[in-house]
């Protein structure tokens, strides 16, 4: 995962309501009206948060008739998990391994 994509995911998750939405969707696909029941938010505000999550690739929207159903993108979370793992463990792909240290 590149830093731009990782940054977009972090920004999308940087809001408490969006983190709650992700947590709720970890139980499975839900329509917006069902997600709304967990919040004291207006429908347009919830739609705004869902759009940010969808645009970041963390959530997938599936339209069925007049309803939109939302679910987590397991691929996005797998990539993000690998990014976090790589960032917290030294490896050959690390930026610090690619540059000669000047203080040595």
Cα–Cα distance between 10 and 80 in angstroms, integer? 9
95 pLDDT above the threshold of 70? no
Domain ranges of the chain: 28-89
Q: What rounded mean pLDDT belongs to the chain?
A: 88
CATH, range 28-89: 1.10.10.10
**pLDDT tens-place string over residues 48-67:** 999 999 999 999 999 999 99
Give the global pTM.
0.81
């Amino acid at each position: 995962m590149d830093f731009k994509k990782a940054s977009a995911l972090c920004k999308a998750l940087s809001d408490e309501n969006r983190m709650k939405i992700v947590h709720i969707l970890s139980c499975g696909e839900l329509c917006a009206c069902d997600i709304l029941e967990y919040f004291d938010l207006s429908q347009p505000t919830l739609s705004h948060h869902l759009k940010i999550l969808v645009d970041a690739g963390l959530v997938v929207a599936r339209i069925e008739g007049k309803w939109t159903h939302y679910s987590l993108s397991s691929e996005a979370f797998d990539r993000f998990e690998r990014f976090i793992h790589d960032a917290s463990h030294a490896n050959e792909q690390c930026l610090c391994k690619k540059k000669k240290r000047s203080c040595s």
